[in-house]
Amino acid sequence: MTALRLSSAVAVVGTGTMGQGIAQVALVAGHPVRLYDAAPGRARAAADAIGARLDRLVEKGRLTAGDRAAAGARLTPADDLSELAGCGLVIEAVLERLDVKQQLFRQLEDIVAEDCLLATNTSSLSVTAIAGALREPGRFVGLHFFNPAPLLPLVEVVSGFATEERAATRAYATAKAWGKTPVRSADTPGFIVNRVARPFYAEALRLYEERVADPATIDAVLRECGGFTMGPFELTDLIGQDVNEAVTRSVWESFFQDPKFTPSLAQRRLVESQRLGRKSGRGWYAYGDDVPRPQPHTAEPADAPRSVTLHGDLFPAEALVGLIQKAGIEIRHAQGAPSHPGGIELPSGAWLALTDGSSTAAAVEPTIHFDLALDYGAATRIALSPSSRVDEQGLREAIGLFQALGKKVSVIGSAPGMIVARTVWMLVDFALDAVGRGVADAEDVDTAMRLGVNYPLGPVEWGRRLTAYRVAESLETLHEEYPTGRYAPSQALRRQAVREEHS
């Protein structure tokens, strides 16, 4: 099945920001586009707005004047749904209410031809449920664009329970012909991105609720150590706290209140207080021309130890060995069988180790956990979590050691799994669970997470680097710390860990 012919008209129903963006994408790709909105005059206003954006593209040299004129001639506002007859594809971007969408498509089914592809841009509703109102649900598919649609490349092509393969294939090919990067997804709550991304927000909120660290510090650690473009608090302020919380709640309810998807009471209170983020002037942070941004907690300068003793292997943190040597700090190697898992012994006797999911609060020895980094060489910040048995000298040695490696140091409270590690382990688990349940294949999951939410690494690939065995083992430890089911490794992760162990 090939992409929709350029001569076929594309209709967009709903002319808000998303509807206009989708219409612009189809228009620039070369299709005739018809705009419809139930509110009188809105379709014409949307056509004018799209024309203005095309003019700006001409000014920036991204569109020729001739192509702009041709695109303008292909754009037609419609005053009645009946004017969408003859379209080869109709995409809706109307109110996120099931009854509204079902009624719209029932009307469209009586208007368009039998071979017209019907698509919804819903981000939170069931594609299967919307199609359930149709006589012929086989031609119905989800085409989930990301905002702003003209700029973001990802499109989730979602097959409902009754979607025919030829419809999904045509939708996929059409999105690709429009210059987008489509990925295939089954009709599951949140599809790929909004399902797999939940831990990125949820773990940060849980850490905040446990008073492990403040929002600015959590954001900074995930950016500067984890490699994420934005931290979860600043990102949800950008998205809108009400929007993000609604998606989380929708996914949680759709999964029958599975504890893995539990919403945050702290975020609920933020929404109730109308602190919705940038659009309201205040969310986790305050916004305004003269409003200072809260700074992350950063430790004061400390002297680095002259030498440290290495025990065993540091595994994902092995790069630290070379960085320590490069900084001129002597590394002594412990003799005999290691009495601990891999770690670094400081001159004071404090034990420095990569977080393994356990809490330093229960540590019998003076233990300091450090966080996982995407790249220890490139990371500019590291988080440390000391046990109560660590004295001031031991903590200063640990701080000084990482400062000597060129890192800012954030000391946080006792947190099993800390910040980056806990988040990444859960992302890996959610991604493998989605693959294992047939939501999407591994390549599409990683593509969706890199392009849809700009992750520095696809979570399936991240799991390969860390190994499924270690991720599962760490989550088992977290599950012991929080025996609610939230951190219990998925069956897909367990199976992958067993395969790795026996390969």
3-state SS, residue 75: strand
Q: Which candidate in 156, 224, 234, 397 is catalytic? A: 156
Q: How far apart are CA 208 and CA 200, in angstroms?
A: 13
Q: How far apart are CA 355 and CA 417, in angstroms?
A: 6
Alpha helices in 185-281 (DSSP H): 193-196, 198-209, 215-224, 232-239, 241-254, 265-272
Cis peptide leading into residue 148 (ω within 30°): yes
- For residues 413-427, one letter each, b for 16 or more C-beta atoms within 10 angstroms of the residue's C-beta and e for the rest, the string is ebbbbbbbbbbbbbb
- Strand 351-354 with 343-345, pairing: antiparallel
For 262, phi and psi rounded to 5 degrees? -55, 130
**Tokens standing for 383?**
């988080």
What are the counts of helices (DSSP H) followed by strands (DSSP E) for the chain? 19, 15
| Residue 373 identity | A
340 is catalytic: no
Q: Which candidate in 121, 159, 194, 359 is catalytic? A: 194
Token pair 């705009």 is at which residue?
35
Which residues lie below 8 Å from residue 110, measured CB to CB, with a gap of 6+?
none
CB burial of residue 270 (10 Å; 0-12, 13-18, 19+)? buried
502 is catalytic: no
Helices 459-466 and 442-452: crossing angle, nearest 10°? Answer: 110
Q: Which candidate in 31, 92, 109, 123 is catalytic? A: 123
Q: Which candidate in 31, 144, 297, 311 is catalytic? A: 144
Residues marked active site are found at: 123, 144, 156, 194
